[in-house]
Amino acid sequence: MRAAFVPEPGRIEVGDFPVPVAGAPGELVVRMERASICGSDVHTVFHGFHNAPRLGAPGYPGHEGVGVVVESRSARFPAGVRVLTVPPGTDGGCFAEYQLIDDEHVVPLPGDGDPARLLMAQQYGTTLYSMRMFGPFPGTGTAAIIGAGSAGLFFLQQAVRLGFEHVVVSDLNAQRLAVAGGLGAGTLVHAPGESLVDAVMDVTGGLGADLVIEAAGYDALRADAIAAVAVRGTAGFFGFPERYGMAQVPMFEAFRKIVRIQWAGGTQSEPGLVAFRDAVQDIHEGRIEVDYCLGPVHSLDDVPAAMEIARDQGNGAVKLSVALGAV
């Protein structure tokens, strides 16, 4: 089979590998149809956040995928079932024509669903799980979201659905901000020329936002989240860490505001994968918009170039996908 792999930190290539075989109880072989590139994949390949034992492994670091089970050692997922594959990012294998995965990290998909759209349940599911960690919320007030990539736009839709009266969204890219406006953001902040903190203070009369979500992955933006949040508000940190080790935090300001700081993560280890299952249903039944994610689709052999585009913030595209077979 063909598969992308990371031979060494800083480089991703495509090569030939043996088709995997399901051996242990619960293992599945999934013929992959489509995968998508996550921001954490960029960090894994280029920024030193790789899992050393997975260097050289087929499909790594892809962890957002859709495919059909072709070999099964699981009574729950027989051959022929289409699934969303959600391996932990440290063990990803979605950038391959076939993926070996256990039945604890797949979610069944509706038979009449569109696989390309349902693929977005992986990213949406992580934000759904995270928003539940950030809550509960009073149902009114102001929310601010830093970053209008796929995760930030899913947070935006949830904030609107939860009843926040005003949602502020910031991003570096005008195209993504235009999508945010269409999804219900009341104030758009085009960074770095415009300030999210100033915009939030203008909207709230200097009080700050009840919820600020950092979904871009930079320490300076996490500091902005603390600056923009209200007294006793919640700062939700979803963005990937910028580096290993220590990071600067405006500790005194967070202390004076009595800020609740909540990191997000661990969706793939949730018992029953409830958030991913809910995400599949929300997309399938039209409760969440994903069409703006159905942008450029690259071939498997084009994964190295696609990863470079993702590294450059997608050239304005919200999400980049990889076609691995017929969808």
* Six token digits for residue 233: 């508000």
Separation of alpha carbons 88 and 90, rounded Å: 5
What pLDDT, on the 0 to 100 scale, is given for residue 72? 98
* Six token digits for residue 39: 């921001």
pLDDT surpasses 60 at 327: no
pLDDT digits (tens, 9 = 90+) for 173-209: 999 999 999 999 999 999 999 999 999 999 999 999 9
Total Cβ atoms within 10 A of residue 112: 6
What pLDDT, on the 0 to 100 scale, is given for residue 233? 96
The overall average pLDDT reported for the chain is: 96
Nearest to 148 by CA among 203, 196, 215: 215
Separation of alpha carbons 229 and 208, rounded Å: 5
What pLDDT, on the 0 to 100 scale, is given for residue 326? 56
Whole-structure pTM over 0.85, yes or no?
Answer: yes
Total Cβ atoms within 10 A of residue 15: 12
| Residue 138 banded pLDDT, cuts 50, 70, 90 | confident
Contact by Cβ (8 Å): 267, 291: no
Most distant pair of Cα atoms in the chain: their distance:
61
What pLDDT, on the 0 to 100 scale, is given for residue 137? 86
- The contacts of residue 299 (CB under 8 Å, 6+ apart) are 322, 323
Contact by Cβ (8 Å): 281, 150: no
Average pLDDT of the residues in 211-217: 97
What pLDDT, on the 0 to 100 scale, is given for residue 215? 97
Contact by Cβ (8 Å): 9, 48: yes
Q: Report which residue type is found at 129.
A: Y
Nearest to 31 by CA among 77, 97, 76, 79: 97
Average pLDDT of the residues in 273-293: 97
Separation of alpha carbons 293 and 284, rounded Å: 15
Separation of alpha carbons 289 and 283, rounded Å: 7
Separation of alpha carbons 277 and 122, rounded Å: 9
Average pLDDT of the residues in 228-249: 94
Q: Is 93 left (phi over 0), alpha (psi -120 to 50) or beta?
A: alpha
Cα angle 174, 178, 180 (rounded to 5 degrees) comes to 115
Domains and CATH numbers, the chain: 2-120+290-323 (3.90.180.10), 128-263 (3.40.50.720)
DSSP string covering 111-153:
TTS-HHHHTTHHHHHHHHHHHHHH----S-SEEEEE--SHHHH
Q: Output DSSP code: residue 314.
A: G
| Residue pointed to by tokens 């995928």 | 65
